């Protein structure tokens, strides 16, 4: 019932905003220096490719609050009309990144922030807005691939990571690339609000903070690297996105205390580290991150096990 109760807030709030939506609209269109009709005389039907998009030409919707003309993106039209050479007209799809960016960000300013903050590596290599967005396209957000698989068009090796034994549910579209790769620099790694906070948005049950922290899980501490110290977020040959199997994962950082492993091996069961130290993300009850029900899980009484009494 709580779930549906929350739904009422979602739908109610949305309804309120729908109402507000239609109360506001005041911006008037501006006149173009070169009429779109002149462009369309040669570039026949190019307006059709824009008609169902945000870039619908102003001549089709004179009351539109957004003033889009051909020359909004294609600069240099006056010269191009006199000499219709391809080189005489600006084309963001063929320009190099800095030029394309300056055209697109004259309206889509949040994208300027991406580059200003500099966490997005795309701009480093002359990959610009038009590398992912095809403006004369009817796809959602004018993306190259409407299914959201457009990232793996270039990042094929990463796409193949999602075909391993365990992976994030990209194929079910329960997550997308941009669920984690926010592009706006919100979640830079190794900071208090960093990559872990990104993970905790979907995995809040692991988020702590714990009285007894496992420092490896902390993205900002002097010891830790965050969730990705143990988990491979795209895909892994092991269960639960783990980088290594069994004890090897723990032993990557922890040397085995003398006799500790030998004695437990002696039982003949070969306990794994996580069978006793099950609170691997952190614990409120034990600084060794021992299982709260250790005794009942592997024999003996609650709070103890075969070899050690309560309090040992």
Partner 1 sequence: MMSLKILLVLVALVSMCLSSQVVSGNDYHGTIRTGYIFTDIEGNQSVHQPTYNLFDGVMLSLEHFRYNWDNGMRLSADIINPALKSRRANVSFGRLGWGSITLHHNSYRRTYNFEGSSFTRRKTTSGSAWIQPIKHLKLFGGMGVTDKSGTSRALMESPTDPPAHLVDYLNRYYHAGVEIKYQRSYGRFEYRVSDYIDDVPGSDDRLTRRLRMFVYTPMPNFERIVLGAGFHRFENTVESKQDTLSANTVWGVARYSDVNGYQIRYSFVFDRSSRTGDLAATDNILQTLSVGKTWKNRGGIIAGYGYRINDDIRVERSGSEYSISTWYAPSKQLSLRAGIGWSSDNVDSGRTLTGDRDYTRHWLSARYRFAEGFVRLRIDNLYRSNFDIGSKSDFFRGTLDASISSSSYGNVVASYSFGDGEYSNSFGMFEFSEHVLSGDAFSSEYHRIQLGFGGSYYRARQDVDIEAFSIHLTGKYRFYQNACLEIIYSAHNFDNFDDLPAPYLEYYTANVVEVSIAYEL
Is residue 197 a contact partner of residue 209, using CB atoms and an 8 Å limit?
no
Residue 174 in the binding site for partner 1 (CB under 8 A): yes
**Site map for partner 1, 81-120, x if CB under 8 A?**
---------------xxxx-----xx--xx-xx-xxxx--
Nearer to partner 1, 86 or 157 (CB): 157
From 19-27, 75-83, 129-137, 300-308, span contacting partner 1 (CB under 8 A): 19-27
Residue 301 in the binding site for partner 1 (CB under 8 A): no
Q: How far is the CB of 92 from partner 1 (least distance, A)?
A: 13
Is residue 15 a contact partner of residue 22, using CB atoms and an 8 Å limit?
no
Is residue 292 a contact partner of residue 279, using CB atoms and an 8 Å limit?
yes
* One-character DSSP codes across 113-161: HHHHHT--GGGGGT--HHHHB-SS--SGGGBS-TTTTTHHHH-HHHHHH
Is residue 51 a contact partner of residue 60, using CB atoms and an 8 Å limit?
yes
In the chain, the largest separation of any two C-alpha atoms, in whole Å, equals 94
For partner 1, the binding residues in 257-276 under the rule CB under 8 A are 272, 274-275
Distance of alpha carbon 269 from alpha carbon 47, whole angstroms = 72
Q: How far apart, in Å, are the Cα atoms of 30 and each of 26, 51, 58?
A: 13, 19, 9
Residue 238 in the binding site for partner 1 (CB under 8 A): yes
For partner 1, the binding residues in 49-68 under the rule CB under 8 A are 51-52, 54, 56, 61, 63-66
Nearer to partner 1, 3 or 85 (CB): 3
Nearer to partner 1, 42 or 267 (CB): 267
| Residue 213 bridge partners (DSSP) | 282
For partner 1, the binding residues in 127-166 under the rule CB under 8 A are 138, 140, 146, 156-157, 159-160, 163-166
Sign of CA dihedral 170, 171, 174, 177: positive
For partner 1, the binding residues in 191-230 under the rule CB under 8 A are 191-193, 197, 200-202, 204-205, 207-211, 215, 220-223
Residue 312 in the binding site for partner 1 (CB under 8 A): no
From 80-88, 129-137, 250-258, 301-309, span contacting partner 1 (CB under 8 A): 250-258
Distance of alpha carbon 197 from alpha carbon 230, whole angstroms = 16
Residue 122 in the binding site for partner 1 (CB under 8 A): no
Nearer to partner 1, 82 or 204 (CB): 204
């Amino acid at each position: 019932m709580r779930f549906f109760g929350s739904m009422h807030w979602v739908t109610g709030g949305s309804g309120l905003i729908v109402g507000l939506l239609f109360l506001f609209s005041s911006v008037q269109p501006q006149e173009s220096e070169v009429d779109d009709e002149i462009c369309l005389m040669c570039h026949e039907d190019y307006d059709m490719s824009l008609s169902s998009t945000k870039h619908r030409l102003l001549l089709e919707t004179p009351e539109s609050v957004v003033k889009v003309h051909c020359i909004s993106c294609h600069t240099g039209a006056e010269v191009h009309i006199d000499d219709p050479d391809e080189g005489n007209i600006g084309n963001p799809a063929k320009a190099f990144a800095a030029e394309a960016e300056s055209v697109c960000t004259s309206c889509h300013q949040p994208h300027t922030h991406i580059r200003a903050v500099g966490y997005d590596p795309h701009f480093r290599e002359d990959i610009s807005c038009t590398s992912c967005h095809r403006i004369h396209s009817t796809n959602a957000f004018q993306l190259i691939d409407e299914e959201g698989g457009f990232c793996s068009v270039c990042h094929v090796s990463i796409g193949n990571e999602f075909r391993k034994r365990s992976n994030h549910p990209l194929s079910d579209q329960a997550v997308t690339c941009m669920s984690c790769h926010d592009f706006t620099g919100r979640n830079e790694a190794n900071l208090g609000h960093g990559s872990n906070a990104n993970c905790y948005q979907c995995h809040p049950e692991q988020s702590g903070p714990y009285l007894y922290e496992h420092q490896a899980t902390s993205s900002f501490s002097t010891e830790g690297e965050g969730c990705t110290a143990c988990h491979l977020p795209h895909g892994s040959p092991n269960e639960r996105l783990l980088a290594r199997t069994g004890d090897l994962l723990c032993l990557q950082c922890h040397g085995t205390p003398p006799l500790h492993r030998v004695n437990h091996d002696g039982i003949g069961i070969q306990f794994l580290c996580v069978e006793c130290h099950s609170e691997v993300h952190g614990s409120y009850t034990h600084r060794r991150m021992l299982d709260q029900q250790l005794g009942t899980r592997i024999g003996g009484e609650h709070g103890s096990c075969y070899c050690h009494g309560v309090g040992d």
